[in-house]
């Protein structure tokens, strides 16, 4: 099919068949021509207006296109700039992350070195503290053994004081309980320490020297002092000779013959040899008491002194001043020899064990 317009209007008939129109009036045709001109002018005006409007729309559309193009260019530039900034930000972030990782690595290394240094310092400090504790324990145990053997607590007090001074000089808070324990034990030893046995030993030596001079019950000649109370009053100077002779005979008779009551016959009937061995036995008893006192055997010393006291009261004259002085010395020694616990520093030893264990 062709694109030519199809006209449905009937074709004009030939002139021979068309009727001759009638004559139209002149005014009617002029009006039709005027109308056709007006319509043509109106169409032309409409066409001009449409053309003007089309030109205006085209210019407006062109401006909009230019504006869109500029906005697109600006948006593209901003997008490129944003991409550049984003790329730079990513690079900065990566650089920062790398630096942060490096800083964390260095911080970790520093922390590791610090921990190693602290462990080394603690190891050195612990080693020094352990050596200090070992030295103090050895000194305290040695002084304790010496005090238990000799009975003198002064070496033990000196060892405790020296250990306290060393701990105070070290300045370790971990050893503060040990220092307090040593001070407590030292105070307890000072408060409970008995007097020195030197006085008791001196009295024992004096008793050993007095044994040979103690008058026995069978020594009649040594008891002459008791006869003075039985003598009669002295005769005047002008008494007759026979009275003086009778007085001399009476005195000689009383010195040769003595009448009295024997309460302990075994003491009176001792021979001179038995008396000698009795004195030597007393000396041995006193020597045993001295040795027992030095070796801190209090029960043995008490037993020996009880034996000595019984022998003095049994075999020697209780009326003699020397025997009375010896009995007094024996009682004083027995009073000085009292049962006392050996020196102990349990609190210090427990604190030393705790410090050595590192708790």
Task: Give the span between the Cα atoms of 208 and 284, in whole angstroms.
Answer: 9
Total number of domains constituting the chain: 2
175 and 161 belong to one structural domain:
yes
> Do 217 and 300 belong together in one domain?
yes
| Model pLDDT for residues 35-54, shown as the tens digit of each residue | 888 888 888 888 899 899 98
Residue 167 shares a structural domain with residue 214: no
**Of 268, 289, 271, the residue nearest 208 (C-alpha):** 289
Pair (298, 202) in one structural domain: yes
Q: Which domain CATH number covers 289?
A: 1.20.1440
Q: Which two tokens stand for residue 304?
A: 């020996």
| pTM exceeds 0.95 for this model | no
In a domain, 80, yes or no: no
End-to-end CA distance of the chain: 116
Q: pLDDT band for position 229 (50/70/90)? A: very low
Distance of alpha carbon 215 from the chain centroid: 68
Q: String of b and e for 48-86 (b: at least 16 CB within 10 Å)?
A: eeeeeeeeeeeeeeeeeeeeeeeeeeeeeeeeeeeeeee
Per-residue pLDDT, 139: 86
- Residue 183 sits in the same domain as residue 284: no
DSSP letters for 261-302 = --S-HHHHT--HHHHHHHHHHHHHHHHHHHHHHHTT-HHHHH
Compute the average pLDDT of residues 248-266: 66
Residue with tokens 């030393």: 352
Let me know whether 185 and 296 are in one domain. no
Picking from 62-71, 194-203, 247-256, which range would have the lowest pLDDT averaged per residue?
Answer: 194-203
What the block records as the tokens of 167 is 């701990």
The helix or strand, by DSSP H or E, that contains position 131, with its residue range, turns out to be helix 26-150
Half-sphere exposure of residue 241: CA atoms within 13 angstroms, side-chain side: 0
Q: Within 10 A of 303 (CB to CB), how many other CB atoms are there?
A: 15
Classify residue 102 by burial, with Cβ atoms within 10 Å: 0-12, 13-18, 19+.
exposed
Q: What is the pLDDT of residues 101-145, one digit of tens each?
A: 999 998 988 888 888 888 777 666 666 667 778 888 888 888 888
Q: Is residue 316 part of a domain?
A: yes
Q: What is the structure's pLDDT at 15? A: 45
């Amino acid at each position: 099919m062709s694109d030519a317009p199809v006209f449905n209007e009937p074709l004009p008939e030939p002139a021979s068949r068309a009727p001759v129109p009638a004559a139209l009036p002149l005014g009617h045709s002029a009006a039709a021509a005027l109308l056709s001109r007006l319509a043509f002018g109106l169409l032309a005006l409409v066409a001009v207006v449409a053309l003007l409007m089309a030109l205006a729309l085209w210019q407006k559309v062109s401006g909009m296109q230019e504006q869109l193009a500029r906005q697109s260019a600006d948006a593209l530039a901003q997008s490129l700039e944003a991409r550049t900034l984003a790329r730079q930000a990513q690079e900065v972030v990566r650089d920062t992350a790398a630096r942060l990782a490096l800083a964390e690595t260095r911080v970790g290394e520093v922390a590791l070195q610090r921990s190693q240094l602290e462990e080394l310092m603690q190891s050195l400090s612990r080693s020094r503290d352990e050596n200090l504790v070992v030295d103090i324990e050895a000194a305290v145990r040695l002084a304790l053994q010496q005090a238990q053997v000799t009975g003198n607590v002064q070496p033990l007090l000196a060892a405790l004081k020296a250990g306290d001074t060393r701990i105070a000089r070290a300045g370790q808070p971990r050893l503060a309980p040990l220092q307090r324990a040593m001070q407590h034990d030292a105070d307890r030893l000072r408060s409970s320490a008995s007097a020195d046995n030197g006085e008791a030993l001196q009295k024992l030596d004096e008793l050993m020297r007095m044994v040979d001079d103690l008058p026995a019950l069978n020594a009649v000649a040594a008891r002459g002092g008791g006869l003075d109370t039985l003598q009669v009053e002295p005769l005047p100077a002008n008494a007759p000779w026979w009275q003086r002779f009778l007085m001399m005979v009476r005195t000689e008779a009383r010195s040769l013959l003595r009448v009295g009551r024997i309460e302990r016959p075994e003491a009176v009937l001792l021979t001179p040899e038995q008396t000698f061995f009795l004195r030597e036995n007393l000396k041995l008893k006193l020597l045993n008491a001295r040795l027992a006192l030095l070796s801190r055997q209090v029960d043995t010393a008490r037993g020996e002194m009880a034996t000595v006291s019984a022998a003095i009261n049994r075999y020697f004259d209780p009326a003699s001043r020397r025997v009375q002085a010896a009995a007094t010395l024996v009682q004083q020694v027995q009073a000085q020899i009292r049962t006392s616990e050996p020196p102990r520093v349990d609190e210090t030893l427990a604190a030393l064990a705790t410090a050595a264990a590192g708790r």
